[in-house]
């Protein structure tokens, strides 16, 4: 655990140093300034950020003004009474958010060590799996080990394997487009891309759905994962016309709720739909099949902590209703 803490310190210092070197005129944003900037960007208003941070509104305004003056760039503009982020702010927010989240994780790790909680298991998961599969896994494990603590974080697919390799997490849950998994991962199950629609939709009469059947439908495109986006763009023509009609979102739960409102159909991996049965939705696999895999990333598969090995066994044993898939063999 001490080694993990030292690594986290070094990684954060490097990240923050790079942030300063790239974006400042010789001075770094401190932690509070990053927090204020990120919160204003997320909420879109000074008043909202002040409430969220438990600060006075003038204090938030002064903090933003100080950041702008110190670093020689305008971050926000007032247009017709609205706060609008400048191009510079939009370029900064991604890296600032990452550093802010790293600090929050680092604080949790310090807290875990301070409270002598070496048994805490840190799990990274995609947003959709965090809402569908992860709660079941944690619930089953908690019945086996009531004293087990968890840190559960959501990350995009493409960030999870690297975060686990850096030992920020003990285990990562992710979905991979295609049959060939990336290195240092275990394939738990192989599945397919499915089309999701309302139960009363005529598509429910079919065992499978073809891209041709979607040509005149409003598509709600989920664009979070670049691998799945590329797969759909190359195999489902209507996906490429989503800008002309339909919707686009980077959040699975937004897409699913738009489907529930009758605003179109969406395409997701079948693992995302775990636990959604009987909620007014229906889904069918695309044909020809577009393969996806449910993967687990581990920092060292040859040396697993007992509680992590138990979680891995639970994941392998999870039943997927409506699927005739069997658990995949371990990679390698």
- Same domain membership, residue 195 and residue 224: yes
In a domain, 299, yes or no: yes
| pLDDT higher than threshold 70 for residue 19 | no
pLDDT classification of 258: cutoffs 50, 70, 90? very high
The region that residue 81 occupies, defined by phi over 0 for left and psi between -120 and 50 for alpha, beta otherwise, is left
Q: What is the mean pLDDT of the chain?
A: 79
Alpha carbons 106 and 84: distance in angstroms, whole number: 31
pLDDT the model gives residue 9: 44
- Same domain membership, residue 179 and residue 42: no
What is the DSSP secondary structure assignment for residue 303, as one 8-state letter?
S
| pLDDT higher than threshold 70 for residue 168 | yes
In a domain, 101, yes or no: yes
In a domain, 22, yes or no: yes
Smallest Cα–Cα separation from 312: which of 130, 121, 117?
A: 121
- Same domain membership, residue 45 and residue 14: yes
In a domain, 52, yes or no: yes
How many domains, the chain?
3
- Same domain membership, residue 100 and residue 26: yes
| pLDDT higher than threshold 80 for residue 302 | no
- Same domain membership, residue 102 and residue 32: yes
- Same domain membership, residue 197 and residue 135: no
- Same domain membership, residue 78 and residue 131: no
In a domain, 305, yes or no: yes
- Same domain membership, residue 135 and residue 109: no
- pTM equals 0.62
Residues with Cβ within 8 Å of 150's Cβ and at least 6 positions away in sequence, in order, are 120, 121, 122, 123, 138
- Same domain membership, residue 179 and residue 297: yes
- Same domain membership, residue 109 and residue 14: yes
The domain that holds 68 is classified in CATH as 1.10.10.10
In a domain, 257, yes or no: yes
In a domain, 332, yes or no: no
| pLDDT higher than threshold 70 for residue 142 | yes
Alpha carbons 172 and 178: distance in angstroms, whole number: 18
Last residue of a domain, one of 81, 113, 145: 113
Give me the domain span that covers residue 16.
2-113
Indicate the SS3 state at residue 235.
helix
The domain that holds 307 is classified in CATH as 3.40.190.10
- Same domain membership, residue 302 and residue 283: no
Alpha carbons 265 and 203: distance in angstroms, whole number: 10
The domain that holds 225 is classified in CATH as 3.40.190.290
In a domain, 174, yes or no: yes
pLDDT the model gives residue 331: 46
């Amino acid at each position: 655990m001490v080694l993990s803490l030292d690594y986290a310190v070094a990684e954060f210092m490097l990240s923050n140093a790079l942030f300063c070197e790239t974006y400042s005129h010789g001075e770094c944003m401190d932690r509070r300034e990053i927090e204020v900037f990120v919160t204003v960007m997320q909420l879109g208003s000074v008043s909202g950020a002040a409430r969220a941070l438990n600060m006075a509104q003038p204090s938030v305004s002064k903090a933003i003004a100080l950041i702008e003056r110190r670093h020689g760039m305008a971050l926000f503009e007032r247009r017709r009474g609205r706060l609008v982020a400048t191009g510079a702010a939009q370029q900064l927010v991604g890296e600032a958010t990452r550093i802010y989240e790293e600090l929050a994780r680092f604080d949790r790790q310090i807290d875990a060590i301070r409270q002598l909680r070496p048994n805490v298991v840190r799990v990274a998961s995609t947003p959709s799996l965090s809402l569908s599969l992860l709660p079941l896994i944690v619930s089953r494990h908690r019945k086996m080990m009531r004293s087990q603590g968890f840190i559960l974080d959501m990350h995009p697919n493409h960030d999870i394997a690297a975060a686990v390799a850096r030992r920020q997490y003990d285990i990562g849950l992710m979905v991979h487009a295609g049959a060939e998994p990336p290195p240092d991962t275990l394939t738990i199950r192989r599945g397919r891309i499915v089309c999701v629609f309302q139960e009363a939709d005529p598509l429910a009469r079919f065992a499978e759905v073809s891209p041709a059947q979607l040509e005149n439908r409003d598509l709600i495109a989920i664009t979070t994962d670049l691998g799945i986006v590329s797969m759909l763009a190359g195999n489902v023509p209507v996906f490429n016309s989503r800008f002309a009609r339909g919707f686009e979102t980077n959040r699975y739960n937004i897409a699913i709720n738009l489907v529930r409102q009758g605003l179109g159909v969406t395409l997701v991996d079948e693992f995302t739909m775990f636990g959604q049965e009987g909620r007014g939705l229906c889904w069918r696999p695309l044909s020809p099949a577009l393969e996806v895999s449910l993967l687990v990333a581990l920092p060292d598969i040859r040396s697993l902590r007992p509680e992590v090995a138990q979680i891995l066994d639970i994941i392998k044993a999870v039943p997927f209703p409506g699927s005739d898939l069997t658990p995949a063999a371990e990679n390698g």
